[in-house]
């Protein structure tokens, strides 16, 4: 790769106030790639680069304070959903019960509490 690192002499005039004036010079001998960003410390971050707090990754709301896996799961799947799952599972089991000879092969589900 034909890339050179050149150093600007200390007394040479520079564009702005750069701390480290090192740069890469491209093959065309015109393109300059500075090693340090040329952003002023007084400049603001553009609005489109700022992520608002309500869009930040990770758990939101009460899920942020979940201490156990069970409490985190209950933030997603509440008791009403579990009741519906058990209800429809029992309907399915009732429909296929005739296929089995033994009663224990197709027993209905029972809802158990899962308190944290």
Residue 27 located in a structural domain: no
Residue 34 located in a structural domain: no
How many CB atoms are located within 10 Å of the residue 23 CB?
A: 18
Residue 12 located in a structural domain: no
> How many helices and strands in the chain, by DSSP H and E?
2, 3
Confidence at residue 32, expressed as pLDDT on a 0 to 100 scale: 86
Q: How far apart are CA 7 and CA 32, in angstroms?
A: 12
Residue 83 located in a structural domain: yes
Residue 45 located in a structural domain: no
Residue 22 located in a structural domain: no
Residue 116 located in a structural domain: no
Range of 89's domain?
64-98
- Decide if 46 contacts 24 (C-beta within 8 A): no
Per-residue pLDDT of the chain (116 residues; tens, 9 = 90+): 565 555 555 545 445 444 446 888 888 888 888 887 777 777 788 888 887 777 778 888 888 899 999 899 999 998 899 999 999 999 999 999 989 888 888 888 888 766 64
Instruction: Domain count for the chain, please give it.
Output: 1
Residue 2 located in a structural domain: no
CA 93-97-102 angle, to 5 degrees, is 120
SS3 of 12, please?
Answer: coil
Confidence at residue 29, expressed as pLDDT on a 0 to 100 scale: 84
């Amino acid at each position: 790769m034909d890339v050179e690192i050149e150093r600007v002499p200390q007394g040479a005039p520079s564009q702005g106030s750069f701390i480290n004036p090192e740069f890469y010079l491209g093959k065309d001998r015109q393109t300059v790639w500075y090693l340090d960003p040329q952003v002023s410390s007084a400049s603001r971050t553009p609005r489109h680069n700022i992520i608002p707090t309500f869009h930040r990754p990770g758990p939101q709301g009460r899920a942020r304070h979940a201490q156990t896996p069970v409490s985190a799961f209950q933030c997603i799947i509440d008791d009403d959903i579990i009741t519906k799952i058990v209800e429809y599972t029992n309907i399915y089991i009732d429909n296929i019960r005739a296929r089995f000879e033994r009663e224990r092969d197709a027993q209905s589900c029972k809802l158990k509490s899962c308190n944290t």
